[in-house]
Structure 1
C-alpha cells in the first residue's frame, strides 16, 4: 500500500511538473507573440495597406511560397493595386498595376537595385560585395563587360554555341550507342534532356574545354546547390542548410584561377572577366572563383527551365510545332537541313532574328513560366508619386516590387492568358508590341528579363541560346508526348527568382528526323 501510494504521488508529481513545464513554454511563446505584436511595425498615414501575418519575421512567407500569384491576386482584390507585405523579415510593397510601373522604373536615386543585388549575390555565392569600397571601379567594369553579350559581339558566341549544340545532341542522344537502331523511338525525361544539353553546351561555349573537366559531376553539384538557392536568397545561413556549404566550396574550387588557366578557348566575355579580377590584388583566388561560379548560375539557372518550357509547349501543340519547324527550314534552307546529320551547320544571329514565330513561341513560353520580381530598395524615407491620383509614403530599407506575372496572366491584356498561343506576339508577319488594358496601351506587357536599367544584361545571349536550342532540336529530332500524361506544372517554391522549373516529371519520345523519313506517321 505504501509503495502504491508512493508511486501515485511520484507519478502525480511528474505529471504536475510536465504541465507546469508546458504552461511555462506556452506563456513564454504567448509573451513573445504579444511583444512582437506590440513592438512590430504599424501602418502610418499615407502608407499602403500593411499585411504582416501572425508569425514573427516570417510574416506571409509561407503563403507567398505556396502560390505567389494566387496569394497576391487575393490581396489585390482586398486592398487595391498597392500594398505592403511582411515576407521573411522584409517589408515588400507590391505594385500590381502595370500603368503604375513607369514611376518605379524611372525613379533612380531613391529606389536602387544594384546595392540589393550585390548584397544578395555576394551572400549566396560567397564573394565580398563588389560595392563595398574595396574594389574601386570593379562594378563599372563588370557592367561594361556585358556589352560582349549583345549586338555584333554575339556573333562568335552564336557560331560557337551552334556547333556545340549539334555535337552534344548527336553524341548524347542521337548516336547509335545511345539511341539504338537509327530512327527508332527513344524515351527520356524532358527536363533532364534539356538540362543535359543546355548545361554542357553553355559551359563549353562560355568557359571552354579541357580533358580534365568532369561536367557531369559539376552539374550534379550545381543542381544540389540550386535546389537550396531560394533559401539562401531568403537569408537562411548556409551553415544551417546541411551539406550545402560543402557543396558550395566544392563548386568554388572548380573555378580557381589556376584551373581555369588550363581551359582552352573560353569566350571573350569570360576572358575579360578573368583579366578584370586579376587586377585586384585584394581579391582572393576563392573570391574570383566565386564570381565565376555566380556567372555560371546566371547563365543556366533560368535558361535551362526556359528551354524546357519552350520545347514542352511546342511538343504539346502540333500546330505550333509544325509552324515553327517550317519557319526554321524556310530560313535555314533545305540544303542545311540535310547536312545537319553529317556535319555542323551554321545559323547566324541575323537568320535567328528573321524567325518571328520562333521568337513569339519563346516569348509566350516565358510569359507563362516567368515568376520574377522586379525589385528596388528604398534608400530614404520619401513619398513616391505613382500617378496623378496615387502617391505612397515609403520607408528606408523597404523593398518596392513589381510583379510581372500579374500582368502576364491578366485576361484584360491577354485573351485566355493561361493558354499557350505560339503566334500571340506576331501581327502581320512582324513582332506584335501593342497590348491594351481597359482601352489604354500597356507599355510593360512582358517582363521576363526585368525592366529599365536593371534588365538582365545577358538577355540577348539567353534569347539567342533558346532560339538555337529549339532550332537544332526541331531540325534533328521528331518528338511526341505520351497520351494521358499529366500537364507540366510550375514549381512555385522558387517564386520571385525568374523562370520556374516544372514540379512534375514529363516523359517524351524522340527519334532522329532525317529528310524524307517518317513522313507517313507524322506527329501523333
Structure 2
C-alpha cells in the first residue's frame, strides 16, 4: 500500500480491471446468448464510461440492478453490484475464476516483465513469511528506523524549527514512499561510506531523487496501462523504466545493507529458476511500484481527514499519547527517539477505525476474474446467471458497498469512529437489506487474492502518523479550503489520488 497503501496481487487485481475498462461496449443481460447468436444494439456513452468509470457503473447499477453485462475491449464483463453476492466470486475455485493469465499479460506490457509459472505461489509464500507474523516485526522495525532518518534526523540540532510550507500530498507521499523503499530495498552500505551518519545522509538524498522520478512514472501510469500514451510520453516512460531497472538491479542490490527478506527471497527464487538478471531487474521495479504506489496517497488522505475533523484528530492523538505512556516512552528535548513496535501498533482501535474509514472513502480497486469454464453465478436473491467460458466477472466494491448509504449512512462524510462499537472495539456488523455483510469494505481485495502486504502497509500509515503527531506542529495553510476531489482517471488502481494538492505547514517542536 502505501499508502492505503499498494503489494503485487493488489496491483494485479486493480490494474487488470482498469486495463479492460476501455473502448466501445455493449450491454446484455447476464446469461443472454453469445454475440454471434444475434445482434446486440449499441448501448453507447463510450466517452462517459472513459471519463468517469464509477459514475457510469453507478448509473448502470441503478438502472439494471444487481448484475449487468457490458462488452469492454472485446470481452463480456459481468459486474456484480450486490455485496451479499460477492461470495460467488471471492470463494469460487480458481479452476473456474482466475486472474493470473491476463495479469501476466498486463505486467509484461506495462513493466516488461515475463512472469514465472510459479509466480503466484512464490509471492504468496514470501509475503506470508516476511509481511505477516514474526516477519512483520522485522519489517516494522526497518520502517521505523528509516522514518526516523527521514523525518527526525535534525531533532535537537536547531534546524527545521521554522515553519516549512509545502503540499500535503507531496510531503506525505514523499516520506512514506522513501521510508518504505529503504525498508524493503535496503540502505547505503556503511562499509562504502565510512560512517553511519554519512550512509544515512546518502539514503536521504538518494531516496528523495528516486521519489521524484517515481512520481513522473506514477503520473504516466494510468495512460500507460490504458495504452494511450503520446510519442513523447512513451519515450519518457521508457526512460523511467530503464532508470529503475538500473537503480534496482541485482548487481546494485548486492552492495546494499539491510535488504528485506521479502525482496531477497524473491530474487533468490528467480535466480534458482534460471531467470536472467535483466528480467529480475524488471521484477524489482514491479515490486517497488506494487508495494509503494498506494500507501503514500493513503497517508495523505488520512492526515487530511484528521486535520479537517478536530474531534477525530483529538481522539487519535489521545490514543497515541496513551500508547507511548503505557510503554514508558516520552517525546522530550534531548530524549531518545520513540520506537514503535508491531505490538504497540496492535493497540490502536481508534486509529484503526480512522484508517479503515479513510480507505473506505478513497480506495477503489476493481476485482476482476477470467471465466475458465462455463459456470453459474448464484446471487443472494436466489437468481442464477449462466456465465460463459472466456467472459470476465468483475466487482467494484467502491460503488457496490463502500459508499452505499444503506450500509453507511451519510457515506461521503468522514466519521473516524464508524468502525468502532460503543465499547471501543472493532465494529464488523454492517447490513444490507437486513442481512449482515461479510464483505463490507474491500480496499485490499478479498479471498485468496487479498493483498498479502496489507499489514505492512497499515503499519506504514500508522507509524507515519505516530511520528507526525508526536514530533511536529502542523496545520493547513487555509483551514477553510475544501477537501480536493478524487482524480477519476485512477479508478480501479487502488488508493485514489487528489485532483490537486493542498498546502500545509509544519515544524519540529524542538
TM-score range, shorter-chain basis? 0.7 to 0.9
Moved more, 348-357 or 221-230: 221-230
Structure 1 residues 464, 65: CA separation in 2 closer, same or farther (over 3 Å shift)?
Answer: farther
Are 1:72 and 2:57 an aligned pair? Answer: yes
CA contact (8 A) 2:29 2:68 kept: no
Aligned to 2:134: 152
Aligned to 1:486: 482
Are 1:128 and 2:106 an aligned pair? Answer: no
Are 1:503 and 2:484 an aligned pair? Answer: no
CA contact (8 A) 1:309 1:365 kept: yes
Aligned to 1:280: 273
Report SS of the residue matched to 2:148.
helix
Report SS of the residue matched to 1:319.
helix
CA contact (8 A) 1:479 1:511 kept: yes
C-alpha separation in 1, matches of 2:47 and 2:362 = 21
Shift of 1:269: 1.3
Aligned to 1:114: 100
Aligned to 1:375: 368
Moved more, 425-434 or 262-271: 262-271
Aligned to 1:29: none
CA contact (8 A) 1:371 1:499 kept: yes
- Structure of higher RCO (CA pairs closer than 8 Å, 6+ residues apart): 2
Are 1:349 and 2:342 an aligned pair? Answer: yes
Moved more, 253-262 or 330-339: 330-339
Are 1:169 and 2:151 an aligned pair? Answer: yes
**2:183 maps to which of 191, 205, 224:** 205
Shift of 1:379: 1.2
Shift of 1:261: 0.5
Moved more, 385-394 or 158-167: 385-394
Shift of 1:270: 1.4
Shift of 1:188: 1.7
C-alpha separation in 2, matches of 1:206 and 1:116 = 27
Structure 1 residues 199, 174: CA separation in 2 closer, same or farther (over 3 Å shift)?
Answer: farther
Structure 1 residues 388, 318: CA separation in 2 closer, same or farther (over 3 Å shift)?
Answer: closer
Shift of 1:504: 1.1
Aligned to 1:297: 289
Shift of 1:130: 2.1
C-alpha separation in 1, matches of 2:375 and 2:409 = 38
C-alpha separation in 2, matches of 1:300 and 1:475 = 24
**1:424 maps to which of 418, 427, 434:** 418
Shift of 1:220: 2.1
**1:456 maps to which of 451, 454, 461:** 451
**1:228 maps to which of 212, 220, 238:** 220
**1:104 maps to which of 65, 73, 89:** 89
Moved more, 65-74 or 466-475: 65-74
C-alpha separation in 2, matches of 1:272 and 1:85 = 41
Are 1:395 and 2:391 an aligned pair? Answer: no
CA contact (8 A) 1:49 1:83 kept: no
- Tell me which structure has the larger Cα radius of gyration: 1
C-alpha separation in 2, matches of 1:61 and 1:380 = 29
Aligned to 1:333: 325
Report SS of the residue matched to 1:443.
coil
**2:80 maps to which of 77, 92, 95:** 95
Shift of 1:313: 0.5
Aligned to 1:27: none
C-alpha separation in 1, matches of 2:30 and 2:152 = 64
Are 1:191 and 2:164 an aligned pair? Answer: no
C-alpha separation in 1, matches of 2:41 and 2:144 = 50
- Structure 1, unaligned runs of 5 or more: 1-35, 132-136, 515-524
C-alpha separation in 1, matches of 2:456 and 2:334 = 26
Structure 1 residues 372, 393: CA separation in 2 closer, same or farther (over 3 Å shift)?
Answer: same
Report SS of the residue matched to 1:426.
coil
Shift of 1:341: 6.5
Report SS of the residue matched to 2:86.
helix
Q: TM-score, normalised by structure 2?
A: 0.84
After superposing on structure 2, the runs of 4+ consecutive aligned residues of structure 1 that deviate more than 6 Å are: 48-53, 172-175, 237-240
Report SS of the residue matched to 1:357.
helix
Shift of 1:121: 2.1
**1:216 maps to which of 182, 196, 208:** 208
CA contact (8 A) 2:169 2:300 kept: yes
Report SS of the residue matched to 1:337.
coil
C-alpha separation in 1, matches of 2:133 and 2:333 = 26
Q: Deviations over 1:345-382 (max 9, x none)?
A: 22221111110000000000000001111111111333
Shift of 1:54: 5.8
Are 1:415 and 2:424 an aligned pair? Answer: no
CA contact (8 A) 1:190 1:508 kept: yes
CA contact (8 A) 1:49 1:82 kept: no
C-alpha separation in 1, matches of 2:34 and 2:309 = 43
Alignment RMSD (CA, Å): 2.8
